[in-house]
Structure 1
Amino acid sequence: MSDTDLELASRRAIYQRVAAEPGIHFRALLADLDYAQGTLQYHLRWLADESLIEESDDGKYTRYYPAAEFDEDDQTVMNALRRKYSRRVLAHLLTDGPLSTSELADRLDKADSTISWHLSKLADADLVTKERDGRRVVYEVTDPDRVATLYTVHRGSFTDRIVDRLLGLWDSY
């Protein structure tokens, strides 16, 4: 990246926000920064065209990452970690897994159907696997080291004290 790439204060502020909170989505950027929607769209497109940021579609949001810092698998994990209940499901599976939908629903105080939806999205992204254990189906994190590392490195950009307590054992990770 050359010095002139980020010479505009607005463009630099957007890039710095994306770098500080990898996986941030458009609406969060719009809420955090004092720019008109069109201005933000223009600068994000310019940053992407100049290969300074990358876009990742998580099915609901387009999320933004500093270019070349996150491979596709990392972006998939970060997309899930940016969703509150997916992050909590992953935290429980990492600390106490494998767990069933009902066990996760009890721990998260959510309906089985809600947890099932999040598990389905996580399974579609190859972040969890499911296996039959007798009469129940249990879920487990596919790559716990990757999830734990990305959570630990970027945990300051997540605002979830519950997960911080669950994963507090990784302070020295």
Structure 2
Amino acid sequence: MSDPDLELASRRAIYQRIADTPGVHFRALLDELEYAQGTLQYHLRWLADEGIVEVSDDGKYTRYYPAAEFGKTDRAVMNALRREYSRRILAYLLADGPLSTTELSDRLDKAQSTVSWHLSKLAEADLVTKERDGRSVVYEVSDPDRVEYLYTVYRRSFTDTVVDRVLGLWDSY
């Protein structure tokens, strides 16, 4: 990269990690790159101030994206895909949806309250829609093609073979 903004090897390394793992959060960068916390914070702030990276808060983590490559909607999808159970919920909805909270809870072997929390976060981000079906509510992925595309492109950065099996994408590896 000959960009004068990325002359420092440390900034190049940080940016490259973000480009390779869009949606990576601060703690993962700290663990993977082994910079001092203050050094990493300084460079991330500089990269964000220069418009080279975008910062996204998913409610639990601050996540980082290459600025030119990810719009708001794609950042929301990637934020969800970076959370294990949100990723699995999306996978089941893509493969078998629409599904109710109970059906998802059974597939994930998680409490309905946990599944509900993730579904509410996915709904807030406009990644799933919900519709009443009799006495239950069923969920469906809002833009399945986009979710599947982003998962497929970045699946190597997700360490979740369960989702690969659910989506049947592993065969195309």
TM-score range, shorter chain: over 0.9
Q: CA deviation at 1:7?
A: 1.5
**Structure 1 residues not aligned, in runs of 5+:** none
Instruction: Spell out the pairing of 1:21-170 with structure 2 (5 A cutoff).
Output: 21-169=21-169
Q: Name segments (4+ residues, structure 1) moved above 6 Å.
A: none
Q: CA deviation at 1:3?
A: 2.7
The answer to whether the Cα contact below 8 Å between 2:123 and 2:129 also exists between their aligned partners in 1 is yes
Match of 1:11 in 2: 11
Q: CA deviation at 1:40?
A: 0.1
Q: TM-score, normalised by structure 1?
A: 0.96
Number of residues of Structure 1 aligned to a counterpart in Structure 2: 173
The answer to whether the Cα contact below 8 Å between 2:164 and 2:170 also exists between their aligned partners in 1 is no
The answer to whether the Cα contact below 8 Å between 2:152 and 2:169 also exists between their aligned partners in 1 is no
Q: TM-score, normalised by structure 2?
A: 0.96
**Structure 2 residues not aligned, in runs of 5+:** none
- Distance in 2 between residues matched to 1:101 and 1:32, nearest whole Å: 35
Q: Secondary structure at the match of 2:140?
A: strand
Change (3 A) 1:20 1:78: same
Change (3 A) 1:20 1:169: closer
- Distance in 1 between residues matched to 2:171 and 2:62, nearest whole Å: 30
CA RMSD of superposed structures (Å) = 1.5
Q: CA deviation at 1:67?
A: 1.0
Q: CA deviation at 1:2?
A: 5.1
Deviations 1:104-124 (A, max 9, x none): 000000001100100011011
Change (3 A) 1:53 1:65: same
